[in-house]
Amino acid sequence: MMKKKIVCVFIGIQSVDYYKSAGFFNEIDSCFELEVLKPEAIDINLNSITERQLPKIDFAWQVDFIKYIKEKASLRLNDKLFDNKNHHLYAPNRHATVLKQWIKFNLINLFSYFFASKKGVDFLEKRMGYYIKKSGFYKTSINILRSSKPDLVYLTHQNTSLTYGVSLAAKYLKIPTVCFIYSWDNVVKGNKLVKADYYFVWSNYMKAELLDYYKDEVNFEAIFVVGSPQFYHYFLDDFLIEKTIFFNAYKIPKSDYYICFSGNFNAIGQDDPAYLKDLALAVQEHNRLNQSQFHILLRANPVDYNFGFTAVVNAFSNVITDVNANWNTTKQPLPICENKLALSVLKTTIQYSDAVINVGSTMALDATLLNTLAYYIDYKIKNGSKKFKIENIYKFIHFKSLTEENEPIKHIKHPSQFKEIFEEVQKNTTKQLEKQQLWAKKIVEHPINKVSERMLEGFKKIVNL
C-alpha cells in the first residue's frame, strides 16, 4: 500500500536543526512519504527525503505594509476584547531614521486605529491575500504542490510571509494544512498569518490561548498538543561537550560557580551590555570578599550578536568568558560537527552553569529543562537606550503564565540583588527549581523527548490512518 504524502515547509536552518535533533524526519518517514519545501538559502541534506526549493518571495510592497497594519490593528482589537490592555506593547512605534520611514511608520500607526475591529482585520487579511495571489511565488507554489500531490501540507511557522503564501496555495488546491505555533509567546502577539485546518501546539495552556484568541477560526478537535522540537537536543548525550574539552576550547578559568548571562536579540537587548557590566562588578566584589569564586559565561545571541558586549568582556576579562557559538572563536576545535555547534554550545553552557540570568527571554525555560536556576533582570539602566523600556517587558501578555504560577522565575530589581543570587546558588536548595519545573510543564508538553511521536499521532489522526 502506498504511503500518504506530507509536504513540510521550513523557513530557516535553525528550525530544521530542531526537527533533525528531535528525530522528526525518521519518525514521520516511517509512516508517510515526506517531501520538504525550503527557501533557496538553506540546505537540509536529508538523504532519502526529497527537497524542493521554493521561489524567492516577490510580493508587492503592499503586502508588508498591510501586514504591519494588520498586526497593530489586531493588537489594538485584543486590547478592547480582553481584560489585559497591554497587547499593543508587542508592536511599539518604530524609530525612523529618514523622512520616508517616518511617513510609513506613522501611516501604519494611524491606519491601525482605523482597522482595529474584527471587520477591519478581516478586510486587511483579504487585501494581503489579493496581492499575494498576484505574485510569482504564489503561482509557483501552486505548481509545486500540484506536481507533488500531497495529502497534507505541514507549515512549521504561523506568521511568516513564506508559510502564509504556501498556505494560500494549498487552500486553492484544497489540500489540508497543519500549522505549528512556533514559540511559547506567539499566540497572543496578534501576528498570526496562516489560517490552517489543524494546529500543533506546545501545551494545553497554548491550546486554551489559541481557542481564546481565535475562537471564530479554530475548533477544539483541530488542535493537537505535541510539545516542541526546540528542546529535544537537551536529552541527547551527543549534544553535550565534555567539560574539560569545552573549558579548554574557550579558556574558561576554574571557578567554584558559573553564571550564564544570556544576551537577547538586539531589538530588545540594547541595554544588555550595561546589565552584563553590573553583573561583572557584582562578581568582582563577591570574589574579592569571599573564598567562594564566581565566573560569568556570556552566551550572546548567536544569530544577532550584540557587539556592545565586546568592551565589557575586554574590561572584565578576569570574570567574563565569551562563549560564542562560532566555529572560529574557540581556541581549539570542538569534537562536534559544525551543524550541531550552536545547539551543543547552548546546552553545554547551561549544563555547566549554576544559574542563568537574562532579560525576559525563553532561556528561562531552557535553563529549567536542564535543571538550572533562572533569573530575570528587571530594573532600569540609568541613561539606557531610549528604544528599550524594561518596564514594558514583563507587561507582555505571555508572562501571565508566570504570575499564575507565583513567579517561578525570580526578578532582579536592583544591581545590589545579584549578591542574593550568589547566596541562593551556593545554598543549592531545590525549592525554587521545583517551582520552575512546574511552570515548564505548563508551558511545554512533557515528556519533551516524545514530541515527534506525538506529531506522528497527530498526522495519522488527521489523514485517518
pLDDT (0 to 100) of residue 156: 97
Cell of 294: 564566581
Q: What is the pLDDT of residues 157-202, one digit of tens each?
A: 999 999 999 999 999 999 999 999 999 999 999 999 999 999 999 9
In this structure, the number of other CB atoms found within 10 A of the CB of residue 61 comes to 8
Q: Does position 327 have pLDDT exceeding 70, yes or no? A: no
Q: Does position 329 have pLDDT exceeding 70, yes or no? A: no
The string of DSSP letters for 352-408 reads T-SEEEESSSTHHHHHHHTT-EEEEE--PPTT--TT--HHHHTTSGGGHHHHTTT-S
d(CA 449, CA 44): 22
Over the chain, what is the mean pLDDT? 92
User: What confidence category does residue 326 fall into, taking pLDDT thresholds of 50, 70 and 90?
Assistant: low
pLDDT (0 to 100) of residue 295: 98
Q: Give the start-end residues of each E strand in 151-209.
A: 152-155, 177-180, 198-201
User: What confidence category does residue 331 fall into, taking pLDDT thresholds of 50, 70 and 90?
Assistant: low
The string of DSSP letters for 321-338 reads EE----TTTSSS--SS-G
Domains observed in the chain: 4-58+135-228+448-462 (3.40.50.2000), 61-130 (no CATH), 233-443 (3.40.50.2000)
> What mean pLDDT is predicted for residues 51-78?
95
pLDDT (0 to 100) of residue 44: 75
Percentage above 90 pLDDT, the chain: 77
Q: Does position 265 have pLDDT exceeding 90, yes or no? A: no
> What mean pLDDT is predicted for residues 83-92?
92
Cell of 328: 572560529
Q: With a threshold of 0.85, does the pTM exceed it?
A: yes
pLDDT (0 to 100) of residue 287: 97
Percentage above 70 pLDDT, the chain: 98
- Sign of dihedral through CA atoms 216, 217, 223, 229? negative
pLDDT (0 to 100) of residue 154: 98
In this structure, the number of other CB atoms found within 10 A of the CB of residue 99 comes to 8
Contact 232, 26 (CB under 8 A): no
How many residues can be counted in the chain? 465
Q: Look up residue 266 and give its DSSP letter.
A: T
Q: What is the pLDDT of residues 287-318, one digit of tens each?
A: 999 999 999 999 998 877 888 999 999 999 99
- Sign of dihedral through CA atoms 324, 309, 186, 377? positive
Beta bridge partners of 320: 296
**276 or 105: whose pLDDT is higher?**
276
> What mean pLDDT is predicted for residues 435-452?
96
> What mean pLDDT is predicted for residues 273-280?
97
> What mean pLDDT is predicted for residues 401-421?
92
Rounded to a whole number of angstroms, the distance between the first and last alpha carbons of the chain is 12
> What mean pLDDT is predicted for residues 138-164?
97
Name the range with the highest mean pLDDT among 36-50, 92-106, 271-285.
271-285
Q: Does position 328 have pLDDT exceeding 80, yes or no? A: no
Cell 541527547 sits on residue? 236
Cell of 306: 550584540
Q: Please tell me the least confidently modeled range out of 11-25, 191-205, 211-225, 438-452.
A: 11-25
**113 or 91: whose pLDDT is higher?**
113
Contact 56, 137 (CB under 8 A): yes
Write out the H or E segment, with its range, that includes residue 32.
Answer: strand 32-38
Q: Does position 93 have pLDDT exceeding 80, yes or no? A: no
Cell 524567492 sits on residue? 56
